[in-house]
Amino acid sequence: MVDLSVSLAGVSLKNPVIPASGTFGYGREYAELYDLNILGSFSWKGTTGEPRLGNPQPRIAETEGGMLNAVGLQNPGIDAVVAEEVPHIAQLFQGPVIANIGGFSLEEYADNCRKLEGCPQVAILEVNISCPNVHAGGQNFGSDPKSAAAVTRAVKAATKKPVFMKLSPNVTDIADIARACADAGADGICLINTLLGMRIDLKTRRPLLANRTGGLSGPAVFPVAVRMVWDVYEAVRLPIIGCGGVSSARDVCEMMLAGASAVEIGAANLRDPYACKTIIEGLPAVCAQLGVSKISELTGGAHHD
């Protein structure tokens, strides 16, 4: 019998499979398809201080190896989530939940996290620092070590919950960003967010997305994500949630060998809403093939002599 349980900064999960933010909403739709309690956890839709309608249509486009999205953090706002979604989540899922939090200023990040202190089922705060800083000319918080550290400190001062900083891959050296977050008190790292990309319609000779650019996700980004998880595992001594193009049980194990303690599944959910269920069911067989009786033994295994 393979033990699939893992731990993230003291939070125990029954397995390492976590639907990624932006692909699972707040769980309502997927709960109609299967019992969410088979999941290790799930990361809810990126939530900001105020409600957001998101970017204009079209904001999703297919690519050869995945998809581009420029949804623009559409969400009902933190107050509505706490009042309406959190109680509903408790009816659908009894495990620990990961709250993905966005913000456009240090104050907004801190305030959003503070409002979740009274939500016991929210076990981990996943702080998305790919948001633009409105006080710094729109530069993403995650593009600079100092900005990333500033968000980390602001959030850590506002909450007692474990804080995982979700990093953007659109940087020169992601290990530098991870080290800055670690030095500022982060409890863990989540990576990667989407890669910046675009497509052009040959007929109209215009970008396919109304926003012009969007985030690339799906199998095409998996090798990039594995490399970045590897680099961050070498750089910091914090638990890592690996994310980016994971589509199978074998991908989960590969990501863990690179250094992840748990793994988020994103675009695969949009292609097949049963993806996480299928991956969880396939993990024992892959672990058996790899000769491990406890999946957590895989974490960082590729770094060892």
Catalytic residues: 131
SS3 per residue for the chain:
CCECCEEECCEEECCCEEECCCCCCCCHHHHCCCCHHHCCCCECCCECCCCECCCCCCCEEEECCEEEECCCCCECCHHHHHHHHHHHHHHHCCCCEEEEECCCCHHHHHHHHHCCCCCCCEEEEEEECCCECCCCCCCEHHHCHHHHHHHHHHHHCCCCCCEEEECCCCCCCHHHHHHHHHHCCCCEEEECCCEEECCEECCCCEECCCCCCEEEECHHHHHHHHHHHHHHHHHCCCCEEEECCCCCHHHHHHHHHHCCCEEEECHHHHHCCCHHHHHHHHHHHHHHHHCCCEHHHHCCHHHCC
Are 226 and 258 a contacting pair, CB within 8 Å?
Answer: yes
Per residue in 232-261, is it b (16+ CB within 10 Å) or e — as a string? bbebbebbbbbbbbbbbbbbbbbbbbbbbb
d(CA 119, CA 192): 26
Q: Give CA separation, 162 vs 11, 55, 202, 283, in Å.
A: 9, 31, 47, 27
